[in-house]
């Protein structure tokens, strides 16, 4: 592409209006202000022992932030610490990692060993929860919550007895989400999904709304798909066909877990390539990859699933085995699975947050200073490791939670 054609594509031959200029300046200034806010918000200026220490209000990238990986990298590179001082403390259990798995391990151990068990949880990030992060914002005097990591308790009917027991012990009753989650939010507002068909693939640029409504025949008639592609799409959306005859239920399930959805559509359902293209980006919002990288077991249409004898299902809109009631994708708190982590910490250290229900955990203000009841000993090499449950991103040494109960 020549420079001139590229300029025309960008619209550089057109006049810039006063409004466009002012809008551009406003965006630039606003972006600079946001960048400064994020830079100032990345670190905490108070020590973890201070009650005002509160990681959920931090902004910016909240993954493995600066301060959480330097020590591990130093060990990798051969660094050692010759001035280490013996801790002179004993524990019944030491857990490395304060994510949901580590917190659950501590919870199960204390349930088995009793409330007198001494448990130490080590965490190198500034907050507990691992991938279950909580973000809090104040906008116009209102508290807004967001999840900076995992969102849902997916398909809880498929959980093991131990996992179901953990939810029960914490007071998480998944049936309540049917009341709290408005499954008809979009439908009641006459909102629906739409699909944009691009000219490069389908010969014309066209946005078609409805995504199967009022029925697949009517919807497909409005699309620029070929006649064969429409027939194949209608077949996999409405016809209950066993595309894997001769295989047992277990063999079907194993095969569907091992193959991509693209492979299933191509090799078993034998659909037109346009149908594969239609579905290719469907998993992007959940899996961040196309159907060539996700298992067929998680993406089958209801009709195909039933034709294979796999009623119920898993993933979006499914849960359980054959004969199970399909489960919607609704089992999550306003801050995602961060509330699960918060309930685990509150169960281990009751004074860390008020309340005792799955409802009050949502707005409970955590006191991070209570996560380590023992103050650090000044003047010792262990001081850096003996602070409260979380430290600012600027402090690289591990930190620990104690559950002395």
Give the contacts of 153 (CB within 8 A, at least 6 positions apart).
167, 172, 174, 331, 332, 337, 340
The DSSP line for 160-200 is -HHHHHHHHHHT--GGGHHHHS-TTTTGGGT---EEEEPHH
- The per-residue pLDDT for range 334-386, each reduced to its tens digit, is 999 999 999 999 999 999 999 999 999 999 999 999 987 655 443 332 222 32
The answer to whether 205 touches 198, Cβ cutoff 8 Å, is yes
Model pLDDT for residues 118-130, shown as the tens digit of each residue: 999 999 898 999 9
pLDDT, position 198: 94
User: Is residue 153 predicted with pLDDT exceeding 70?
Assistant: yes
Which pTM does this prediction carry? 0.70
pLDDT number for residue 13: 55
User: What confidence category does residue 286 fall into, taking pLDDT thresholds of 50, 70 and 90?
Assistant: confident
Q: What is the pLDDT of residue 211?
A: 86
Q: What is the pLDDT of residue 235?
A: 98
Please confirm whether the linkage preceding 214 is cis (ω < 30° from 0).
Answer: yes
Helical (H) or strand (E) element with 137: strand 134-139
d(CA 260, CA 249): 18
pLDDT tops 90 at residue 275: yes
C-alpha 291/C-alpha 276 separation (Å) is 8
Q: Which residues of 116-133 are buried (b: 16+ CB within 10 A; e: fewer)?
A: ebbbbbbbbbbbbbbbbb
Please check the confidence at residue 28 and state whether its pLDDT lies above 80: no
Q: What residue spans define the domains of the chain?
A: 55-178+335-403, 225-307
Residue 132 has pLDDT above 90, yes or no: yes
pLDDT tier at 64, thresholds 50, 70, 90:
confident
Backbone angles phi, psi at 197, to 5 degrees: -95, 125
User: What is the pLDDT at residue 7?
Assistant: 54
400's enclosing H/E stretch is: strand 399-403
- pLDDT > 70 in the chain, percent: 77
Question: What's residue 47's pLDDT?
Answer: 73
224 in helix, strand or coil? coil
Computed on alpha carbons and rounded to an integer, the radius of gyration of the chain in Å comes to 27
Look at residue 394 in the predicted model and tell me its pLDDT: 33
The predicted structure's pLDDT at residue 86: 81
- For 182-198, write each residue's pLDDT tens digit: 999 998 998 988 999 99
For residue 233, name the pLDDT band (cuts at 50, 70, 90): very high
DSSP reduced 3-state for 271: coil
The string of pLDDT tens digits covering residues 66-76 is 888 898 899 99
With 60 as the cut, is the pLDDT of residue 310 above it? Answer: yes
């Amino acid at each position: 592409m020549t420079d001139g054609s590229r300029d025309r594509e960008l619209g550089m031959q057109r006049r810039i209006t006063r409004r466009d200029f002012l809008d551009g300046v406003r965006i630039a200034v606003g972006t600079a202000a946001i960048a400064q806010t994020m830079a100032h918000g990345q670190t905490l200026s108070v020590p973890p022992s201070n009650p005002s220490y509160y990681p959920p209000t931090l902004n910016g990238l909240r993954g493995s932030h600066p301060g959480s990986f330097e020590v591990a990298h130093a060990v990798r590179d051969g660094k050692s610490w010759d001035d280490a001082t013996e801790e002179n403390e004993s524990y019944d259990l030491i857990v490395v990692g304060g994510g949901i798995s580590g917190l659950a391990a501590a919870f199960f151990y204390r349930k088995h060993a009793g409330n007198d068990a001494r448990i130490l949880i080590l965490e190198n990030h500034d907050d507990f929860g691992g991938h279950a992060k909580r973000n809090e914002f104040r906008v116009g005097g209102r508290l807004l919550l967001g999840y900076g990591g995992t969102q849902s308790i997916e398909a809880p009917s498929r959980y093991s007895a131990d996992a179901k027991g953990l939810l029960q012990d914490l007071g998480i009753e998944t049936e309540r989400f049917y009341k709290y989650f408005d499954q008809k939010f979009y439908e009641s507002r006459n909102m629906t999904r739409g699909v944009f068909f691009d000219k490069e693939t389908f010969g014309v640029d066209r946005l078609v709304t409805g995504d199967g409504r009022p029925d697949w025949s009517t919807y497909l008639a409005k699309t620029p798909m070929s006649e064969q592609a429409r027939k194949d799409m209608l077949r996999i959306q409405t016809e209950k066909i066993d595309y894997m005859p001769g295989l047992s239920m277990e063999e079907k399930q194993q095969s569907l877990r091992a193959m991509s959805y693209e492979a299933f559509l191509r090799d078993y359902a034998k659909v037109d390539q346009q149908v594969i293209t239609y579905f290719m980006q469907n998993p992007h919002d959940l899996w961040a990859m196309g159907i060539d990288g996700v298992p067929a077991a998680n993406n089958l249409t209801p009709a195909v699933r039933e034709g294979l004898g796999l009623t119920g299902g898993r993933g979006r809109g499914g849960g359980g085995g054959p004969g199970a009631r399909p489960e919607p994708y609704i089992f999550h708190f306003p801050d995602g699975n961060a509330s699960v982590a918060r309930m685990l910490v509150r169960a281990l250290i009751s004074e860390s947050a008020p309340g005792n229900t799955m409802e009050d955990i949502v707005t409970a203000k955590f006191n991070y200073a209570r996560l380590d009841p023992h103050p650090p000993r000044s003047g010792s090499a262990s001081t850096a490791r003996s602070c409260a449950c979380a430290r600012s991103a600027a402090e690289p040494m591990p930190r620990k939670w104690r559950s002395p109960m």
